[in-house]
Structure 1
Amino acid sequence: MIKREMYMSRIRPFIGNDLVKVLTGIRRSGKSVMLALIQEKIMASGVDRAQFISINFENMSNAGLCTAQALHDEIIRRAAQISGKVYLFFDEIQEVQDWEKCINSFRVELDCDIYITGSNAKLLSGELATYLAGRYVEFVIYPFSFDEFIQLYRTIFPEADVRTCFNRYLTAGGMPYLANLRYEETACRQYLQDLFNSVELKDIVQRNKVRDVDMLERIITYATANIGTTFSSTAISKYLKSEGRSVSPETVLGYLKACTDAFLFYQVKRQDLRGKKILTVNEKYYMADHGVREAVFGGNQRDINLVLENIVYLELRRRGYDVTVGKMGDKEIDFICELQGNRLYIQVAYLLASEDTIRREFGVYERVRDNYPKYVLTLDEFGMSRNGIKHQNIRDFLLEKEWR
């Protein structure tokens, strides 16, 4: 089991206090494993496992507990038999109707420490904001980083060098369960296709009562094909009209919002560096896992520029950066990354194969006058840093513990 210290280091300070710990992220990204790691940490501090109550609401045997009242009554009954603090672990809590009321009630009635997971961003909106305002802390759990992928891949293929690992990561992605399949290509593709279908059906279609599933699938296909590419809902609407399907830009936005709520995509807004304001049109979207893209759409090697951007974007988010796309006149910087008052600028490309490419990738920084670190990331093996701009191999960048 990968210890996922990046997440544990953030969660650890909140263990034992009265804030509800909420773990969110796309299905099968490792949230259940994180609950197990948290339980290990709590037991290592001397707590008896008998003080744990753990329920996975995707397990059919727990179907009778999927209303707030039924869950409340069951937990109160079990907690009465436990001496000392009660530790509650609820996996995929969104399956419980009115779960927010139930969780808030436990906080009031019990001496407890609560951990919940969910596969929908709506967990932290609406009702939850009302019942638990200021009383929860969220941790988004992403699929494996390249560093985590290497650790697991080498337990199966110990002789694999970094380049070999990265080539497999490009197509397999970071879903943790793939190690159980020994990264066998056909089995992995089937698993990721099934995962995609599960997200589409359970977290998008059913949760949002989508009627026009064909339209949803067309919009998902468009966004998947164009990850890392600036586009608008109007552009998608016009494209679909040319395909014989009429849909309003507002409907397109609604479907994309449903996809981001399910953590299938992440939306990245653009920032005008001159006016220092967030632009409201032509966002970019990136997928939660590029391996899912390969399984359902294909073409990761063909679209390697876009996939490399996707990989870098997710690594930035894992490390806690707020990320926007930078606009400076007619030029665009792939990522402006901000964390605790620090900033990075990042430009991603496949290879610096010509002088024109070099000028284009380095030239985006010509009008950026501040002294924050500026990167050009590619798969070139030789460094071409210049004018204070750091050129680095993407593999090395992903494996660095700290960026300066």
Structure 2
Amino acid sequence: MIKRELYMSRIRPFIGGELIKVMTGMRRSGKSVMLELIQHELLVSGVKPEQFISINFEDLRYTHLLTAKTLHDEIIRRTEDIDGKVYLFFDEIQEVKDWEKCINSFRVALDCDIYITGSNAKLLSGELATYLGGRYVEFVIYPFSFSEFMELYRTVKPENSVAQGFQNYLLSGGMPYLSNLRYEDEPSRQYLMDLFNSVQLKDIVKRNKVRDVDLLERIIAYIMANVGNTFSASSLVKFFKNEQRTVAAETILNYIRYCVDAYLFYQVKRQDLQGKQILSTNEKYYIADHGIREAVFGGNMRDINLILENIVYMELLRRGYKATVGKAGDKEIDFVCEKRGQKLYVQVCYLLASEDTIQREFGAYDSIRDNFPKYVVSMDEFNMSRNGINHKNIRDFLTAEEWN
């Protein structure tokens, strides 16, 4: 188990406070481990183990607690004999019917510190805002970054170089459990397939009562094939029409939203950098874990340019950046990133193999006149920085502590 300090450093200031700590993110991305890491910090600080009550609602032993009333009564009963503050850890809370009423009640009735996790954005953002009204703080937990991946990879395959580790990362992605499978190809693929099926069934189909599962599967396959490519609902309507299926654009948008709510995909808007406005058509989508794409769809090495983009985008999210696709005249910048008033521009490509490619990637910045950092990121080993634009090998970019 690695410490995931990127997240702990954000959570730590809220430990012991009255705000409810909510950890969201895709199924099996490491939320349960974050609860364990928090418990470890509390134990080190002197909290006694008997002050903890920890329940994973996907564990069949707790099926009798899947309503707000039964859970409320159980926790009240178990806290009667606990001296001092009670620390409540609820994993996959969305399995509990009317869970938010129960959590609110604990916050009012008990001297407690509450931590909850869940795998559905709609449940744990829009509804949280309604029911908990500003009394919570949310942390999205993502699959492993390349740095986190290497931390475990070195313990499994210490003889391999960082470059070999990156090759493995390109195919297997960053789901934490893969280290238990020693990153072996076939077991890893099987695990990722099962994970994908679980997300599709539990977090998309069942939760949203999806009727046309075949259509959903086709939409997911289309988005996987086109990660990093701009497309619109109308282009999907045309695609299905060619396959002799008539589908309304609204249905397609709803199904895509269900996938985004389940943290399977992330939507990236396009921004006109000259008109300073968000464009309403042709968004891009990236997948939470590119290893899932390889297991389900395949072709990560064939589409390596898009996969590198996907990896960089997820790293931007982990570090707290908001990213849009930048449009400047007839040129496009892969990522225009903002965090606390600071900007960062990133172009991603596979190799700067020709003068035309170099001109295209560096030339994307020709009309950008500000002094914020600008990067071109690729697999090249040699530094080709020029005109104040930084060129970085992608491994170095992903493992750098800061970008400036």
Task: Output the TM-score relative to the length of structure 1.
Answer: 0.99
| Residue correspondence of structure 1 range 1-400 to structure 2 within 5 A | 1-400=1-400
Deviations 1:84-128 (A, max 9, x none): 000000000000011011101100000000000000001234432
What secondary structure is seen at the aligned counterpart in 2 of 1:392?
strand
What secondary structure is seen at the aligned counterpart in 2 of 1:352?
coil
Residue 44 of structure 1 aligns with an amino acid whose one-letter code is: V
Q: Equivalents in 2 of 1:127, 1:155: separation in Å?
A: 41
Gaps of 5+ in 2: none
Structure 1 residues 393, 126: CA separation in 2 closer, same or farther (over 3 Å shift)? closer
Residue 92 of structure 1 aligns with an amino acid whose one-letter code is: E
Residue 298 of structure 1 aligns with an amino acid whose one-letter code is: G
Q: Equivalents in 2 of 1:68, 1:308: separation in Å?
A: 44
What secondary structure is seen at the aligned counterpart in 2 of 1:382?
coil
Residue 30 of structure 1 aligns with an amino acid whose one-letter code is: G
Q: Equivalents in 2 of 1:247, 1:325: separation in Å?
A: 28
What secondary structure is seen at the aligned counterpart in 1 of 2:347?
strand
**1:340 Cα deviation from its structure 2 partner:** 1.0
State the 4+ residue runs in structure 1 displaced beyond 4 angstroms: none
Q: Equivalents in 2 of 1:87, 1:185: separation in Å?
A: 40
Residue 288 of structure 2 aligns with an amino acid whose one-letter code is: A
Answer yes or no: is the 8 Å Cα contact 2:29–2:142 preserved in 1: yes
- State the identity %: 72
**1:218 Cα deviation from its structure 2 partner:** 0.4
**1:329 Cα deviation from its structure 2 partner:** 1.2
Q: Equivalents in 2 of 1:148, 1:125: separation in Å?
A: 27
Q: Equivalents in 1 of 2:128, 2:165: separation in Å?
A: 41
Q: Equivalents in 1 of 2:245, 2:27: separation in Å?
A: 30
Q: Equivalents in 1 of 2:3, 2:327: separation in Å?
A: 38
Q: Equivalents in 2 of 1:392, 1:268: separation in Å?
A: 23
**1:159 Cα deviation from its structure 2 partner:** 1.7
Deviations 1:4-57 (A, max 9, x none): 000000000000000000000000000000000000001111000100000000
Q: Equivalents in 1 of 2:126, 2:316: separation in Å?
A: 28
**1:266 Cα deviation from its structure 2 partner:** 0.4
Answer yes or no: is the 8 Å Cα contact 2:149–2:169 preserved in 1: yes
Q: Equivalents in 2 of 1:203, 1:262: separation in Å?
A: 6
What secondary structure is seen at the aligned counterpart in 1 of 2:396?
helix
Residue 237 of structure 1 aligns with an amino acid whose one-letter code is: V
What secondary structure is seen at the aligned counterpart in 2 of 1:323?
strand
Residue 157 of structure 1 aligns with an amino acid whose one-letter code is: K
Q: Equivalents in 1 of 2:357, 2:41: separation in Å?
A: 49
Q: Equivalents in 1 of 2:376, 2:130: separation in Å?
A: 44
Between Structure 1 and Structure 2, how many residues are aligned?
404
What secondary structure is seen at the aligned counterpart in 1 of 2:298?
coil
Residue 72 of structure 1 aligns with an amino acid whose one-letter code is: H
Q: Equivalents in 1 of 2:127, 2:70: separation in Å?
A: 19
Answer yes or no: is the 8 Å Cα contact 2:24–2:124 preserved in 1: no
What secondary structure is seen at the aligned counterpart in 1 of 2:115?
strand
**1:398 Cα deviation from its structure 2 partner:** 0.3
Q: CA RMSD in A?
A: 0.7
Q: Equivalents in 1 of 2:92, 2:124: separation in Å?
A: 13
